[in-house]
């Protein structure tokens, strides 16, 4: 029985694990050799001259290109200071009072400064929003204790919190309101809508080396903005790639009551144009996936046959009855592959607008998913991808969150886990789903298969299969009117020289 209810008290982050030789790299679209770029800094520019060399990854993972973060000073390792500096700067720019109070100061006086049209805002380039910041684990021992896991590694959930906040900082760097009087706070509220895709390298982050976040805006709509964020760690004097993520943010007015226009993004060169076009493709893909959502449309013919085959496989044919369910060898009931947790949020978990910080939700969901993956596989799992994080509703401070994690699909060494976050009303018993998170984990040994018992579990199974295949680069969905696959692998901002 794998089902359990636990209270997490901090779980370890990622453990490096090499796959066995039986892993079929071709089947999962894994390249054994990939191109990486060696960077030559160019004074005064974020664009670097590059030369291409061939390198291979021991575990078949993507080898990300190096990035030139320097703005004229070859000794400068970050442009925004530490992540604590970033947080304080955001608070200052938004005019938020320091210290918690249940009654948030009104920002209605800032509404008149919100731009009424895109034409009122000057265009920006990707270089305008480029920024970087440090998590100083080597010098701040108090900070180090918050990040370290019990095996000496870094809690990846903590890093997800920082990436979410850093994405907001990148948006701040992009926004420029020319008519805003000096001393007046920025008349915007920025909300995380979703995290499109997070990929991890094979490098295990440690607790005793500095970590650097960097990124820039990669696409802009009228009121929405996409940000690419990289994360590296300095090991043996060199910055090594840990992960990258794509955040989709929404711009709201000062009172967070309606959408607000933001500066358009105009590519400054051909490379920026490729990145921008990738953002357009990802937008079209999201629209297409919304149309194909299993809550709106029925499964396709192949998926319906798959569900029927699973049903027949779990029926006792000797009884001649549909209600006699049996579990075939090598399978686990989906209802038994679950784990839940009640999380209380407090003022220290709030963002600048007195709502629960999105990074706090991301951290708790990731750690719960890791616990379930560990319990299901009976060995320490490796986090491969975070394919989709959606923020449906804001969460108030003091909310009681019911987080439920389910293994909804497995294939060979991989498992797909969904975590649903519900705001729970103890008086009425009503639950409202505020967030959904999808994670892909792997272990060295083959995993048991998942068997759904009900129709709604079968829909979870199909949804998990879709998420898994997208995360692994299988059956990349095509967008109508596009000649290239509309995935983040098509025009990947991680290949940028920014």
User: Is 486 within 8 Å of 477 (Cβ atoms)?
Assistant: yes
CA distance 415 to 406: 10
SS3 315: strand
pLDDT of 61: 30
Q: Is the dihedral of CA 371, 375, 377, 380 positive or negative?
A: positive
Query: Is the domain covering 74-97+105-292 a CATH 3.50.30.30 domain?
Result: no
DSSP assignment of 213-229: EEEEEEEE-SSEEEEEE
Query: Burial of 311 by CB count in 10 Å (0-12 exposed, 13-18 middle, 19+ buried)?
Result: middle
Number of Cβ within 10 Å of residue 187's Cβ equals 22
Fold agreement between 74-97+105-292 and 300-475:
yes
- Give the predicted TM-score (pTM) of the model: 0.71
Under 8 Å between Cβ of 263 and 220: yes
**What does 434-484 look like in DSSP terms, one character per residue?**
EEEEEEEEE-SSPPPEEE--SHHHHHHHHHHHHHHHHHTTSSPPP-TT-SS
Per DSSP, the three-state class of 383 is strand
Count of beta carbons in the 10 Å neighbourhood of residue 294: 14
Name residue 47's beta-bridge partners. none
Domain range summary for the chain, segments of one domain joined by +: 74-97+105-292, 300-475
300-475 folds as: Thiol Ester Dehydrase; Chain A (3.10.129)
Per-residue pLDDT tens listing for the chain (498 residues): 444 443 333 333 333 333 333 333 333 333 333 322 333 333 333 322 323 222 333 232 332 333 343 343 444 466 888 888 888 888 888 776 665 555 566 778 888 989 998 988 999 999 999 999 999 988 888 888 888 877 777 888 888 888 988 999 999 999 999 988 988 888 998 888 888 778 788 788 888 889 999 999 999 999 999 999 999 999 888 888 998 889 999 999 888 888 999 999 999 888 889 999 988 888 888 888 788 888 788 888 999 999 999 988 888 777 666 677 888 899 999 999 999 988 887 666 666 566 776 778 888 889 999 999 999 999 999 988 887 788 777 777 777 888 899 999 999 999 999 999 888 777 777 788 888 899 999 999 999 999 999 999 999 999 999 999 888 887 655 544 443 333 333 334 444 433
Cβ–Cβ under 8 Å, residues 210 and 162 = no
Residue 411 is classified by DSSP as: E
């Amino acid at each position: 029985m794998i089902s359990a209810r636990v209270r997490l008290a901090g779980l370890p982050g990622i453990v490096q694990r090499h796959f066995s030789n039986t892993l079929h790299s071709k089947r999962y679209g894994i390249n054994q050799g990939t191109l990486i770029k060696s960077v030559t800094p160019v004074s005064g520019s974020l664009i670097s001259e590059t030369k291409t060399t061939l390198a291979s990854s021991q575990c078949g993972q993507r080898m990300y290109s190096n990035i030139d973060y320097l703005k004229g000073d070859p000794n400068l390792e970050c442009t925004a200071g530490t992540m604590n500096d970033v947080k304080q700067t955001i608070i200052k720019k938004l005019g938020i009072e320091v210290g918690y109070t249940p009654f948030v100061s009104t920002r209605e006086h800032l509404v008149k400064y919100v731009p009424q049209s895109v034409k009122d805002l000057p265009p920006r380039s990707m270089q305008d929003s480029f920024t970087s910041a440090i998590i100083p684990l080597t010098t701040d021992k108090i900070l180090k204790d918050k990040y370290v896991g019990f095996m000496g590694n870094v809690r990846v959930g903590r890093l997800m919190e920082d990436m979410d906040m850093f994405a907001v900082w990148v948006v701040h760097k992009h926004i420029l309101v020319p008519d805003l009087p000096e001393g007046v706070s920025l008349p915007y509220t920025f909300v995380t809508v979703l995290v499109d895709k997070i990929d991890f390298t094979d490098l295990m982050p440690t607790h005793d080396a500095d970590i650097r976040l960097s990124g820039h805006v990669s696409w802009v709509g009228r009121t929405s903005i996409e940000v690419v964020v990289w994360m590296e760690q300095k090991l043996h004097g060199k910055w090594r790639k840990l992960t990258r993520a794509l955040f989709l943010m929404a711009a709201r007015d000062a009172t967070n009551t309606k959408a607000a226009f933001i500066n358009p993004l105009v590519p400054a060169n051909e490379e920026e144009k490729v990145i921008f076009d990738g953002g357009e493709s990802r937008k079209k893909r999201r629209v297409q996936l919304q149309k194909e959502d299993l809550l709106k449309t029925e499964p396709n013919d192949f998926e319906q046959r798959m569900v029927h085959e699973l049903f027949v496989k779990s029926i006792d044919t000797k009884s001649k009855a549909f209600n006699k369910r049996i579990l075939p060898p090598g399978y686990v009931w989906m209802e038994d592959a679950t784990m839940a947790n009640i999380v209380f949020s407090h003022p220290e978990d709030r963002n600048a607008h007195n709502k629960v910080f999105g990074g706090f939700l991301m951290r708790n969901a990731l750690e719960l998913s890791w616990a379930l993956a560990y319990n299901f596989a009976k060995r320490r799992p490796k986090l491969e991808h975070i394919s989709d994080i959606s923020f449906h509703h804001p969460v108030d401070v003091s909310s009681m969150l019911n987080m439920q994690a389910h293994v909804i699909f497995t294939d060979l060494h991989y498992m797909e886990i969904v975590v649903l976050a519900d705001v729970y009303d103890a008086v009425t018993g009503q639950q409202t789903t505020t967030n959904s998170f999808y994670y892909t984990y792997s272990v060295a040994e083959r995993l048991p298969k998942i068997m759904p018992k009900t129709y709604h579990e079968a829909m979870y199974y199909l949804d998990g299969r879709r998420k898994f295949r997208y995360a692994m680069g299988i059956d990349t969905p095509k967008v109508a009117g596009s000649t290239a696959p509309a995935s983040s692998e098509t025009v990947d901002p991680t290949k940028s020289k920014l």
